[in-house]
Chain A
Amino acid sequence: MRTKLTPIIFYGVTFISMIAFIRASRRWPELIQHISKSEELDPSFDFKLKKKCNITLLLVLVLAILEHIFSIRSAYSAAQICYPDTGFYEGFVRYLYPWVFDFLPYSAALGMVTQFLNIQSHFIWNFTDLFVICMSYYLTSRLDLVNKKLLPAQGKYLPEIFWRTTRETYCRATKLVRKVDEIINGILFISFANNLFFVCVQLFNTFDDSVDMVGLCYNYSERRTKPVGSEPVIYLLFSLGFLISRSIAVSLIASQVNLASTVPAPILYDVPSAVYCVEVQRFLEQVNGDNVALTGLQFFSVTRGLLLSVAGTIVTYELVMVQFNQAPASDSFTEKIVENNISTIETFYNYS
């Protein structure tokens, strides 16, 4: 059942992501106009931003292509066992997409179309995270513009006009964050929900199935086949590692926006009393009172604490799910206990 549920959720979520991107693209021109006005008022000389975005893009896409290659290798070796008597491409496509070929007759064109759709969906999955990461880089760099101006001013005697202009720059930067958030919060929500679901499912598959059951054929005629070699294991572990590191990267980079907005506070506390004015007070009240962060459809704010609570949620769900799966009479668990005890007794008596 689990193997049938995962593709439904996967394609459903990519469909919803497409809708979210269409919604975002409708408001994209007004966002660009706002950004251009804001950049005109506060020109930025951050040349590293472009390099950072390009490197992240390259890294994520290369790893995604690698994962796709591993999946094809593992499907190929499994198809040879599950469908030994059909042609090479037919067996391969039948193994990968049973939800199409159990109902429709096989043709090479249909196989290629399905494979293309699958590649598209995987790309959308990775692209959502990449989009959130690059927007967070940009917003962090805008907030850092203010911080870079403030850091040399710590403890110094500067006139009121300096504090006023810095405060107005900070206001514009937070307004930009809020505007971007309005437009991309649906995408961010989908990205987090998707990552949470798939990390839970993949971790559960890894714990529960134990790697020698990978390669089970869907038509159940080859139940508990002989081991298919190391390709499915590599694919499973690589896919899980890639998913977890991508989720952590999105959380950490998106929470940088919140961190960068809290940097002015200590500097403002250090303003000497001789130059303390109403502008500094206003600035301080804004920094302390305003919650500047990207949100997920306004349900949650992406901060560092969120990553911790998501991790706790995943661990709790894993423990509960693994326990549910072992509640009916499962021989493998008790077999393992007996084996374990026997091996312990053996090691007591044999030291060689």
Chain B
Amino acid sequence: METTKQPIGLSNQLEALNFKALLSDNSINLNRNRKHIKSTTRGNFREQILRKVQNRISPETIQEDSKIPLTCQFQLFQTAMKHLLISGQFMGLNPVSRISDHNPTKIRFTVFSWKFVYGVIIGIAQACATVLCFCKLLKDSVNIVALAYFAFYLSTGCNTFIFLRVASKWPTLIKHVYETQLDSYIDVKVKNKCFAAYIIFFSMSMTEHMLSLLSRFVITMDCLPKGSDLFESYIIRNFPWLFEFDVPYYLPVGIILQFLTLVSTINWSYSDLFIVCMSIYLTSILKQINKKIEMAGNSNHLPIPFWRTLREDYTRATRLVRSFDDTISSVIFLSFASNLFFICLQLYNILSNGVTSKYNLLKEMCPNYPSGPLGGYEQIMYLLFSLSFLLGRSLVVSLVAAKVHSASMVPASALYNIPRNMYCSEIQRFLDQVHGDKVALSGLRFFYVTRSLVLSVAGTIVTYELVLLQFSNED
């Protein structure tokens, strides 16, 4: 017998983990029709369980192996979120040192790292831009372009500072992910889904930035007086909030401003991507639990300890959702608020001014018109693409984040169908918990992201648009 060769402590751990690992491991061939499950804890089952336990207990062995089989939630989380988190750090967001390390003790948040300083510099630059835009807004009358600039820099500046706060809570969150004992609910498709979301969001965000650059360069080229520098006139035209205060133009200033615009534009859609990836991860865990409940509901008889374990796993999953919510709820709040504001603003702009804005009319009076590759339609294309990207992004974030709540309500319907001979106090406790607990991502606890929120936000947008459009009808 193998147990006589192992130290006492490990065999006790094996005894404790035996039953649980046995029932939840898909790779162990379990004949579900057998009544006496406890008797099948001998022989090769012990080998498999021992290997799994050793993998989990010693993290030092894990980091040496690059092709790690995904056996725990922590590794899945780190591999799925690697691209997202590292590219965020290029924009000064979430400056946690060694964020993709597979050893959770190495992940730390320190104030004196260069990533933190870089993030703070970008945040301060965006804050300065916000203040200058606000001064310009006060100086001129309230018009849509100035308001849009102000709101843009304000929301991206707030985003940077909110992610600094997220970074300070990140090591605690990672610790919770590492310690959550939900390793039997791993869905490897999460990696592919997160990567696909990452590619789609980034490519569309870069396309939007390219289109914006193109349309602005074309406008500058159209109305360029003879003999002046293209880049200089482009910078002065597009950053009026800086150059109207008699700041002289220098080439490095122009390059810095262009870099700031790039970072802010990607920042704008980064928080949506972040929320989508976290929601995909959390939903996958809840869905795996739901699958197991459904399979269990179809079988003939399962003992009370099985339901107890299932309920405890569900509790751990909801605790994980709550822990994620504590960390990222401010990101969700800001994302929803800024999406709502910008959708209202863009829709009002298009509905009241039409797609051919006064810029297009004035452009035709310019000497070099039309000089762009799309023959005068760059502005329209950018406007339409930007609006549809914004609408699509808001819709996707709302729907994906609402899946967490929907997935947490699914066990109820499976539990209602449990036959009379299997019903026990554990199932009653499980049902009470599913009914009573509200498991959802929230925006700073002001609102919970559910499917009905999408409907009420849409209703709000329509109401505000109808009221705002009355303004333009009086001209």
Report which A residues bind B (CB closer than 8 A). 259, 265-266, 269-270, 273, 276, 281, 284-285, 288, 304-305, 307-308, 312, 315-316, 319-320, 323, 326-327, 333-334, 336-337, 339-341, 343-345, 347-349, 351
Contact = CB atoms under 8 A, between A and B. Distances in A.
A340 B468 contact: no
- Per CB-CB distance, the 4 closest pairs between chain A and chain B, nearest first, are A288-B436, A319-B467, A336-B141, A308-B446
Contacts of A269: 315, 318, 433, 437
B474 interface: yes
Given A308-B446, A340-B141, A341-B358, A273 B308 contact: yes
A320 B464 CA distance: 10
Nearest to A345: B362
Contacts of A305: 446-447
B interface majority secondary structure: helix
Contacts of B470: 323
A316 B236 contact: no
A319 B472 CA distance: 13
B460 interface: yes
Nearest to A339: B141
Given A265-B436, A269-B433, A270-B319, A323 B471 contact: yes
Given A273-B308, A319-B467, A348-B223, A284 B436 contact: yes
B220 to A, nearest CB: 10
B463 A351 contact: no
Given A308-B447, A341-B358, A351-B233, A316 B436 contact: no
A323 B474 CA distance: 10
A112 B168 CA distance: 55
B228 interface: yes
B468 A319 contact: yes
Contacts of A320: 467
A307 B470 CA distance: 27
Contact of A348 (B366, B436, B437, B474): B366
B137 to A, nearest CB: 13
Contacts of A327: 474
12 contacts: A269-B318, A269-B437, A270-B315, A273-B308, A273-B426, A281-B429, A281-B432, A288-B436, A326-B471, A337-B475, A340-B140, A341-B358
B141 A323 contact: no
Contacts of A281: 429, 432
A319 B464 contact: yes
Contacts of B358: 341, 344
B445 interface: yes
Contacts of A348: 223, 362, 366
A273 B432 CA distance: 14
Interface residues of B, number: 39
B333 to A, nearest CB: 10
A266 B322 contact: yes
A351 B437 contact: no
Given A341-B358, A349-B223, 15 more contacts: A265-B436, A266-B318, A270-B315, A270-B319, A273-B308, A276-B429, A288-B437, A316-B467, A320-B467, A333-B474, A336-B141, A337-B475, A339-B141, A340-B140, A351-B237
Interface string B232-255: 010011001000000000000000
A315 B464 CA distance: 9
Interface string B211-236: 00000000000010100100001001
B357 to A, nearest CB: 10
Contact of A304 (B141, B446, B471): B446
Contact of B225 (A265, A308, A343, A351): A351
B26 interface: no
Contacts of A312: 460
Nearest to B145: A344
Contacts of B467: 316, 319-320, 323
Given A307-B446, A316-B467, A326-B474, A340 B437 contact: no
A316 B463 CA distance: 8
A291 to B, nearest CB: 13
A266 to B, nearest CB: 6
B39 interface: no
Report which residue of B435, B464, B467 has the largest number of chain A beta carbons within 10 angstroms of its beta carbon. Answer: B467
B27 interface: no
A211 to B, nearest CB: 9
Contacts of B33: none
Interface string B124-147: 000000000000000011010000
Given A266-B319, A316-B467, A323-B470, A344 B426 contact: no
A348 B223 CA distance: 7
Contacts of A326: 471, 474
A250 to B, nearest CB: 16
Interface string B432-475: 11011100000011110000000000001001100110110011
Nearest to B444: A304
A144 B474 CA distance: 55
Nearest to A334: B475
Contacts of B436: 265, 284, 288
Contacts of B433: 269
A265 B437 contact: yes
B11 to A, nearest CB: 23
A348 B471 CA distance: 27
A312 B341 CA distance: 12
A10 to B, nearest CB: 28
